[in-house]
Every structure is written in C-alpha cells, then in structure tokens.
Chains A and B, each alone.
Chain A
Amino acid sequence: MASVKSISDYPIIHTIGDQALMVMFGDGYSKQVNSKVLEFDRKLSQADFCWIVEVVPAIRSLLVTIDPLYIEMQKAEHLIREQINTQQESSIKTATRRFNIPVCYGSQYSPDLEHVSLQTGVNKEKLIELHCSCDLSVACLGFSPGLAYLAELPEEFNLPRKVSYNATALPGSVLVANRQTVFTAAAIPTGWSIIGRSPVIGFRLNQSPHFLFQPGDEIRFYPITEEQFQTSNYDKIWDAYGHY
C-alpha cells in the first residue's frame, strides 16, 4: 500500500481486525470502481457462504466479516480470491431501481444554500436546477442508518467540507461536499453544507422494509415548495419500491 497503485493492481484483499477481510477495488470514488464493489456484493450474496457473517459494500471497498469458528482467515481469503477471479463483467444484472425524491430547497430547510452559492459563484436557482438535473447513484449507505452517499454531482459542487463540524442535519437532509451529495435518514452532526430537506426519510423504525434505498439505486431530486413539504404525503414512494 505504500506505493501508488494503478487500477490494474486492484482488487486488493486486506485483513481488517481478526475476523474480516476488506476487498479494495480502487483508491477513490469512480462509477466504475463502485460498480465493481456492488457487483461483487451481489456475487457474494449468491455464493451464500455459510462462514460469511456480513458483507458491507462501501464506496471503493467491501467488507466481508467471517465467523472464525467456521473457517480460517487464510482459507476465507483464498475463497474470496477465487470468487474475484471468476468474476465476469456483467454476469449478474439486476434492474436499477429509480427514485424521484422531492426536496424543499429554501427557507429553514436550506441553512447553507446561500453559503454554497457564494462559494461556487453560482446563483441559488441555478444550483437547485443543477442538483435536480442529474441521475445520482447510491454509492453506498453508511455512517448512520439509511444515510445514502450519492454520486456524482457536476463540477460546480466541488466544494470542501466546512471547517466547523457542529451543525446538526435532521433526517431527510440533503448535504453537499466534494461533488457528492448525502441524503440523511437520521439526525447526524455534519461538516457538509445543508442545501435542502426532503419529507421522505429513507429509514423507518416501525415498519418493514426499514430502509428505502440500496446501494446501486438511482435517485433524481425534484424541487417542492415549503407548503408541499408540510402538507403532501409521499408515503407511496415506499409502496412502489418497498418490495425486497
């Protein structure tokens, strides 16, 4: 890991802790790298190894937690490598699920929109238009329950995180930094800029399915008014896509 790796060096298998393997598919985010992560995730779920406790896909890497009472780490690594070597491009295809998600960009829901506008030199209307004009892909869920990392935004959104880490993003918040956007489903502290909030929360406690999104889903945001945010019911988004 000390030297810079080229794409052909990947995937690389590391051990992490004493009961997990981490497979790295690249050194940063790219659609291609993330697709490989998600493809391998599907492949492992089909392989259905009894010694796998849990598989956690992330942006560029994938964690495989193993049960050391069933298998030696070396043997597990060998079997994972075998799966990688037999991985064929587009061997497993699942239909991409697409979501249209309402977002209120304005007033109390967008405390940092003004700041983002000043930082990027793009006016607020244009920023909203840009944010709603791309098909974003759920690169992974992480950090807190149901929180979706979405990529990739246009160059205009290539702004750094804020210096302070003290703001609280409420569930449904839409955050931006580093050409990524994050869609929260629980309250989190954040250093990202909060540019809007959705009445749709991707995590619910009392009903199954508990999570609206899965890695690989596509999301397109559309703007709604404050009144729509407060009065409209968007529960049907769960009904249409909740079957998995």
Chain B
Amino acid sequence: MATIEILDLFGSATIQDKGRIGFQRYGVPRGGAMDLYALAEGQVLLQNEPNSAALEMQFGGGTFKVHGTMTLATSGGQMEIYLDNKPIPWKSSFTVNENQILQIKKNISGVYSYLHLPGGIASTKILGSRSTHIPSGLGDVPKIGYHLRSTSKEQIRQEGLFLPPAGYYSSKTINIVHGPHSALFDKKDLELLTQKKFQMSSSRNRMGAKIIPLGWNISAQTGKTLVSDPIVPGDIQVAADGTTAILLSDSQPTGGYPRIASVITSDLFKIAQLKPGEEFYFKLIDRIEAQMKFKQKTREMEHIAKALKPLIRDPGEVRDLLSYNFISGVTRGEADDDY
C-alpha cells in the first residue's frame, strides 16, 4: 500500500475529519476541521466520503516523500506546492509516484490548508472520529516520520480536477448573534461590538483565536458568571482581564467566562482563515437569518462538485494561469510571485 511520509513540517499539523459528536457531555471537545468548507472541497476533488480525514496544516506546510502511487488533492488556505520541484496548482487532484518529493510551502492566502488522500487518511479512530486532539491523546499526531495512509484500496483517482479559489478569505464582515450572557455586558460595549473594528491576533490555535478590539476594550464582567456553562464553537469570550477570544473547534465543552456573542456557524470558516493582523467588523444578525445562512452554506457545500473543472482548458477562463505548469520538462515552470 502506498504511503506519504512526513519528512518535515513547517507549522503545526493535525489530522481532522468533521469531529466528534455526542461526547461533549463527557468533556470531549467536538474538534473537526477548522475550515469544514475546505475539507468538503478536498473530498469532492478525490470523490471521498464527506467525513474522510485530511491533514490539516496551520501556518505552513511540510515536505513529504511518496512511497508507491497515489492520487492526492489540496484545499484550504492557498500554499505554493511543488512535486519534485515542479509547481502544481493548488486545489487540484494530482497523482504522485514512488520516491517523489512533495513540498507544500509559502502561504499565499488563509491560515489552514489541507492535504487529502483517496478515501481519507487511515489514522486511529476513537469516539467516532479520527480528529487529533493532542491534550487528550485522541487520534494520531502527524509528526516527522509519520506515514499518511489511505483508507481506500483504490488509491488512483481522477487527476487533473480543479476547484476555483474560495471567496471567503480576508473577510471584512463576520456575522454574530447574541447569546445567554450578552445581557451581562455593558450596553455601551454591546453597541461598540458592532461599530468598532477588530483585528485578528497571532495568538491563536485550534482552541481559539484572540481578537483585539481596536481603540477600546470590552469591560470584563468578573464575578458575574463563575459557574461553568456549555460552550459552542464561535462563542466570543471575555476573560477576567478583558482578553477577548473566539472559541473554535477544539474549545473545551464548558467554561466559566461570560460570552458577549457568538459567531454564526457558517462564518466559522471565515474566522479560521483570517490571518493575524487582518481587520474585520462584527455584524449582528438574528437567529432566523443565521439559520438561513447555514442552510445556504450547506447547500453550497452539497454542490461543490458542480464547480469542478478539468485543469487545463480555455486559458481565458483560468484565473491564475501563471501558477499552472504547462511547460513541465522544459523549464521549472515556476510562477512569478505576483500575488
């Protein structure tokens, strides 16, 4: 069976599927891919089941050595990707062969990027999911020397399929809804929440992302909620020192800090892909609109396959033509860095 060996990792990496459902009552975080839309795109590129596991890379890729022959795909935050030093397009399916070296490096957009294997990665499945949660020892930890294996016997899939770039990176507007603790906050803070700009900090991981209110501070509401209540991913928590953070996929299932609002589910991908330093506004919507947006996003995800294109077609239709390798074997065919 073919495997993809990790020779080097430049940022942090985990294995993620859609996460664990039903175990929050035992204190287990839901987990799952930070960008579920990107996860779905990769499954479509390889005709995988929706809940297949992929390698999730935060802030950087890695170097991989191919053992055998297998079709792979990438998705999520755009990276430069090279197979034996030849660039290949991002968000496409491609077949790799024995001893080839795959390099994923230099981030172009977004934060979380995915490497997909046919049938998904065959790593340890526990509590219904392969998602890695390092603090609780759940799932495999992809480290240097780890071999990514496919769950499928058919490791060759249609290559040369391509999906257009996602439009939700560097989002300027993030939709939120009020929650159970919103009324604990000062009225002024609730108003400023949707009037003032926020900045994504560099202090972020799969548990949560610290965000910085620009030009003001949310007053901490200490002592008002000391009892832990359940948390949902997207909750915007204000700690005792005023530190504001959006809780994400690996957030603990319960917590005692008050939460001023929650990012809606269909905007969690946007938050996940915001780079440190990027600025955005929160927009307050009601739960009916939030639910409509979720349905719309779900429909979009079900129809990703309609956007599939064969890789090389009318050059006029292809936006980032320069990143395609039309001249393989003649020169290195590298794109100019014009992003």
Q: Which A residues are closer than 8 A to B by beta carbons? A: 1-2, 14-20, 22, 24, 27-29, 41, 53-63, 65, 68-69, 72-74, 140-147, 149, 178, 185-188, 203, 205, 210-211, 215
Contacts and interface: CB of A to CB of B under 8 A. Distances in A.
B27 A144 contact: yes
Nearest to B233: A17
B183 A60 contact: no
Contacts of A205: 126, 137-138
A68 B181 CA distance: 22
Nearest to A188: B135
A211 B253 CA distance: 16
Nearest to B255: A143
Interface stretch (B113-121, B290-298, B321-329): B290-298
Contacts of A28: 226-227
Contact of A17 (B27, B228, B232, B298): B232
B183 A73 contact: no
14 contacts: A2-B184, A16-B232, A17-B177, A17-B233, A18-B287, A18-B293, A60-B229, A61-B180, A61-B229, A63-B229, A68-B294, A73-B288, A143-B253, A187-B135
Given A16-B180, A56-B25, 11 more contacts: A15-B179, A17-B262, A53-B21, A56-B253, A62-B230, A140-B254, A143-B254, A145-B23, A186-B135, A205-B137, A210-B126
B264 interface: yes
B339 interface: no
Contacts of A53: 21
Nearest to A20: B232
Contact of B25 (A16, A59, A141): A141
A145 B183 CA distance: 31
A69 B264 CA distance: 15
Interface residues of B, number: 47
A71 to B, nearest CB: 10
Interface string B295-313: 1001000000000000000
Contacts of B298: 69
> Chain B at the A interface: mostly helix, strand, loop or mixed?
mixed
A19 B265 contact: yes
Contacts of A203: 26, 136
B234 interface: yes
Contact of B27 (A1, A41, A59, A143): A143
B227 A60 contact: yes
Contact of B230 (A22, A27, A188): A22
Given A73-B288, A140-B254, A142-B253, A54 B22 contact: yes
Given A22-B229, A58-B254, A72 B291 contact: yes
A142 B137 contact: no
Interface centre among B180, B252, B255, B293 (most CB of A within 10 A): B180
Nearest to B261: A17
A144 B295 contact: no
Contacts of B279: none
A52 B30 CA distance: 15
Interface in B97-132: 126-127
A14 B179 contact: yes
A54 B234 contact: no
A59 B26 contact: no
B227 A54 contact: no
